[in-house]
Structure 1
Amino acid sequence: MEAKETKWLYETILSGPGMDEQVKFSFTASRKVILLLAEAIENGLKMEGSGLKDSIGTTGITELEQLKELVLERSNLSLLANQLTKIK
């Protein structure tokens, strides 16, 4: 699928009814999974040409960055994640 088709698909899905509603959830995950989730979010936000970044805009990017920081903070992995980022 080309980037513009992917962007159109994401925009269509994300503009559906109720997609802007706030959702509160509680889950349990290992620190390993939390660290991998944070890395996946960070890598996804760095990807160019996927259509995802273009379709979510700056608000969506900010929300994903905040979610990444929140899960790292709550799992006491912020310092480790920052140190790993410096190594890259």
Structure 2
Amino acid sequence: MLTENDAVRVFDTIMSSPGMNEMVRMDMKISRKNVLLLHHMIERGITENDGSLSVLLQSLPKENIQELKQLSEECLQRAGLTELNQKLSELGADKRK
């Protein structure tokens, strides 16, 4: 089994391989439900949980994390779910209080 350090090195190798920074066009159809779930998963994955990100995300440059956030927001906007997501977030914040 890989140690955390080995996993980071493998991940870093994959992310720096040729062509990984090239833009790709992705034309797809996705339900609004899945857009909302995808946004939630991205936000949850890049948000610190109990003060620590996953080892792999810790090794990512901040620019990559920002790009994921922008992608997530753009998906919400295109699906017309920005306001709904904001209200759901507020409900979740109220529940935690």
Matched, 1:77 2:81: yes
RMSD: 1.6
What does the per-residue CA deviation read over 1:24-64, in whole Å, with 9 as the maximum and x for residues that have no partner? Answer: 11100110111010011001102534223222211001100
Question: Which residue, 34, 40, 57 being the options, matches 2:61?
Answer: 57
Number of the residue aligned with 1:42: 43
Number of the residue aligned with 1:24: 25
Counterpart Cα distance in 1 of 2:10 and 2:45: 17
Change (3 A) 1:5 1:49: farther
Is residue 46–residue 53 contact of structure 2 (8 Å, CA) maintained in 1? no
* Between 62-71 and 45-54, the greater mean CA deviation after superposition: 45-54
> Which consecutive residues of structure 2, in runs of 5 or more, have no partner in the other structure?
93-97
Is residue 7–residue 51 contact of structure 1 (8 Å, CA) maintained in 2? yes
Tell me by how many angstroms 1:19 deviates: 0.3
Paired residue type of 1:61: I
Question: Which residue, 60, 63, 67 being the options, matches 2:71?
Answer: 67
Is residue 12–residue 59 contact of structure 2 (8 Å, CA) maintained in 1? yes
Which one has the largest radius of gyration?
A: 2
Quick one: higher RCO (CA 8 Å, sep 6+), 1 or 2? 1
TM-score normalised per structure 2? 0.80
Paired-residue identity, %: 35
Counterpart Cα distance in 2 of 1:49 and 1:43: 10
